[in-house]
Amino acid sequence: MLLSKSTEYGIRATLYLTSLKQEGYVSIRDISDELDISFHFLTKIFQKLTQADLLQSFRGPRGGVALARPADQITLLDLVTAIDGPALFTECVLGLPGCGERKPCPLHEAWGPERDNLKALFENATLASMAADLETFDLRLKILHL
């Protein structure tokens, strides 16, 4: 699995939040209901994103969460690293400590560039661009019961 469940949920939920284009705060309950994600679990994930200054939160009636900056200034890489940490983009694919040129593992030469591609993929995907695609191509963020 490339991303943890937490990160999968975090991306889907933040993307949905973005797509609402709502002025004020959106309640976590609304988001968790809409995407069929456990409310309390999602709350914890959003707490991480709030602590990483990617989201703002507000308690009480009319409270909820909102993007902390414009949607074109938050990337999926921001979300992934805030939730799962940077390991995917820095660590040895074989789990050996100290990935680098000095004493590389047999996969380093092939994995290094691939890892950079992957990082670029997440870095180039802003919440704004993703939300635009979402509308344009009618993409899905939730499981479908067909």
Which residues form the interface with ligand FES (CB under 6 A)? 92-94, 96, 99, 104-105, 107-108, 111
**Quick one: 2 or 61, whose CB is closer to its own copies?**
2
Among candidate residues 36, 55, 30, the one with its CA nearest the CA of residue 45: 55
Which span (25-33, 47-55, 67-75, 90-98) binds its own copies, by CB under 8 A? 90-98
Pick from 123, 141, 31, 136: which is nearest to 73 by CA? 123
The entry of its own copies, DNA, ligand FES, none near residue 24 (CB within 5 to 8 angstroms by kind) is none
Q: Is 57 in the site for DNA (CB under 7 A)?
A: yes
Interior angle at CA 74, CA 28 and CA 108, nearest 5 = 115
The nearest distance, CB 124 to DNA, in angstroms, is 25
Q: Which is nearer to ligand FES, 93 or 132 (CB)?
A: 93
Binds 136: which of ligand FES, DNA, its own copies, none (CB < 5-8 Å by kind): none
The HSE-up count of residue 138 (CA atoms within 13 Å, CB side) is 0
Instruction: Write the DSSP symbol of residue 69.
Output: S
C-beta neighbour count of 82 within 10 angstroms: 21
- Nearest residue (CB) to DNA, 90 versus 124: 90
